[in-house]
Structure formats: C-alpha cells, structure tokens
Amino acid sequence: MKAIILISGNGSNLQSIIDSADRIDLQISCVISNNKNAFGLKRAVSSKIQTSIINPELFNSKEAFDRELISIIDHHEVELIVLAGYMRILTPLFVSHYFGKILNIHPSLLPKFPGLNTHQKAIDASEKIHGASVHFVTEEIDGGPIISQEKVIIEAEDTVETLSDKVLKKEHVIFPKVIHWYTQRRLKLITNLQATLDGKKI
C-alpha cells in the first residue's frame, strides 16, 4: 500500500517505519515536512525516498497551507497518510478530505495528556504508568479513536529525557504494527468516535 509520511523533526518513528516497510507491505511514496531542518528528511534521502518541504511562511492561512499539502499528497495517489511527529494542527479541510486514512502516534496513554509536553505532564501528575497511543485522526486534536497503546512504568528517578526514550522505544514497535493492520485492510474508521479491527469495535 502506498503512503505519505508527514514529519517535522527527528524522524525516529519514520526510521522505524522505513526499516519495517517491506514486512508491513508499505511503500513510502514521499516524506513531507513543514520544517526544512527536520533530520527525518535526511533519513528519507538516505533511504532514497522522495521528500518534499512546504514552508509555512509562504502561506497566509492554515487552510492555504493544507490545500498545498493536499495537492502534493493527491498527486501521489496514496491510501494512507502517516503522521510521524508532525507538529502542525491539521485543518478540518484536510482531515475531512482524508477521512479514515490518517494515522497518528501520540506519546501518552490517550485520552490522558493530549497536546504537547506529555512526559512532563505525566511526571507532574505523579503517574505510575505512561506510554504511547496510535489513533485515527479526526478533527478533535489527539481525540480520534484509539487503535492500540503500549505502556511503560514511570520510575521515581525518571526525567523527561529518560521517559521520552522509554516511550519512543515502544512507539517504534507499536506504529509499524498498527500500520501493518491498516495495509492488511483490517482497520476501518467508521465515525469520528468509532473504529473497527477485523470488523469488531475497538
């Protein structure tokens, strides 16, 4: 299955997807970044994957930016859009255009800690368990149906950095796993609140 991957930064999740692409039946048509300095772009180039950069400063609205993004993505005729550390909020225009075709990974056990700085929030809230979630993207930020989660234990000595490392290790396993379910056509977004795996509600 052909996919586009959107990134903004380091791209360690992108790397884990590139490394498992054959096994999970994924063909990465293009990696698109809103940040020209994203290290993930170098990872894509090293793997001979086409890249595209869209500079947000050249657009006078979020909609105009997303219209450009849509035109690039549609050109590639993909069935899946993977958000792998893409740090821009998608407009309703974008999300409705690709209803049921966008997957995101988020570094918390959603619905706990949507948004940014999730590891700090988990530490501040004295959580004992933290983790990562993969979910379908809907208009509600980090609010679409959760598909799969992986947990880590927060130890007393954990810092944002150590916790982030632990969670990222889980992310690199869970995201390719869920993408594989998608490429096998086992996953479907039914409504903004409901998804199915193998026809059963999740």
Contacts with ligand GRF by CB under 6 A lie at 9-13, 40, 84-85, 105-107, 168, 171
- List beta partners, residue 47: none
Compare residues 107 and 145 and give the one whose CB is closer to ligand GRF. 107
Residues 189, 144: Cα–Cα separation, whole Å? 9
Point out the catalytic residue in the list 106, 119, 130, 172. 106
Position of tokens 């096998």? Answer: 184
Residue nearest to ligand GRF (CB): 85
How near is the Cβ of 2 to ligand GRF at its closest, in Å?
A: 21
How near is the Cβ of 93 to ligand GRF at its closest, in Å?
A: 21
Residues 27, 11: Cα–Cα separation, whole Å? 17
How near is the Cβ of 23 to ligand GRF at its closest, in Å?
A: 19
Measured in whole angstroms, how far is the alpha carbon of residue 88 from the centre of its chain? 11
Q: Which residue type does 146 have? A: I
Q: Is 106 a catalytic residue?
A: yes
Order of strands across the sheet that contains 200-201? 187-191, 194-197, 200-201
Compare residues 66 and 142 and give the one whose CB is closer to ligand GRF. 142
Which residues are designated catalytic? Answer: 106
